[in-house]
Amino acid sequence: MLTLQAEYYKGLHVSSIKEAVLNTPNLPLSVIRKEITLAGARAILVIAINELVSFFNVGKTMNDVQVALTADLIIDRFYYLKLEEIKLCFRNAMASGKIYDRLDGNIILGWLNEYDVQRDEIVSSLSINEAHEQNNNSTGMFYGEYIKHLTERSENGDEEAKELLESHQSFIQRMKSNDKEAAFKKWKEEYYGRTKKQTT
């Protein structure tokens, strides 16, 4: 399971808050927790936090218990963030974070709070339609409602909605399958294949 989650986290690439919010699959932590399992959400966050721990060479670092507790706090507090956003926040911290010879949960949560403020500013500067869509997502739209919305758009000929719908359903199904390693690899190839076609 951890190998599967590590592969997924490694494949996440976004360069801006706007890109992370608008141009990635709508899979916030709350959906991963509900549709895949709490353990799955926790596992990938542990990987993300351990990447931070490995990057910063500090005297006072985090043990496994502190890492796990921080992961749970992130799930509870920042349930509306996508994994792409978590990674973007952490990578920004790697580039410019000041930790003064210590790294702990408070510092990591502080980085996420700072990201959240910047995120709110970006969302408020979007167009009316984009902001409306994001407000729906960040106020806790249920996964079923989101899928219903995508289904309606797909049935009305919206090709982007159709691809998003197929991508979400494929991800959830494959993550729940018995052979998670092979299933996830197949989904990843399909998803990034579609993404590559859209950008060319």
Percent pLDDT > 70 in the chain is: 70
> Which tokens belong to 46?
């542990």
Q: How much is the average pLDDT of 117-134?
A: 71
Q: How many CB atoms lie within 10 A of CB 105?
A: 17
* pLDDT band per the 50, 70, 90 thresholds, residue 177: low
* Residue 71 pLDDT greater than 90, yes or no: yes
* pLDDT, greater one: 48 or 150: 48
Mean pLDDT for 2-6 is 63
- What band does 159 get if pLDDT is binned at 50, 70 and 90? confident
pLDDT at 82: 93
Residue listed under structure tokens 């985090």? 62
Q: Does residue 141 surpass a pLDDT of 50?
A: no
Contact 42, 68 (CB under 8 A): yes
Nearest to residue 180, comparing CAs of 19, 16, 40?
40
For the cut 90, the answer to whether the pLDDT of residue 78 exceeds it is yes
pLDDT at 193: 62
CB crowding 141-171: b at 16 or more within 10 Å, else e: bebeebbebbeebbeeeeeebbbbbebbeeb
pLDDT at 135: 52
Say if residue 111's pLDDT is above 90. Answer: yes
Number of C-alpha atoms within 13 angstroms, CB side, residue 200?
6
Residues 6+ apart with CB under 8 A from 28: 79, 80, 81, 82, 137
Contact 57, 193 (CB under 8 A): no
Tell me the sheet residues that pair with 102: 60
139 pLDDT more than 50: no
169 versus 154: the higher-pLDDT residue is: 154
Instruction: For 79-104, write each residue's pLDDT tens digit.
Output: 999 999 999 999 999 998 677 788 99
- Provide the sign of the torsion angle of the four alpha carbons 45, 47, 52, 53, taken in this order: positive
Please state, rounded to an integer, the average pLDDT across all residues of the chain: 78
In terms of pLDDT, which residue wins out, 58 or 191?
58
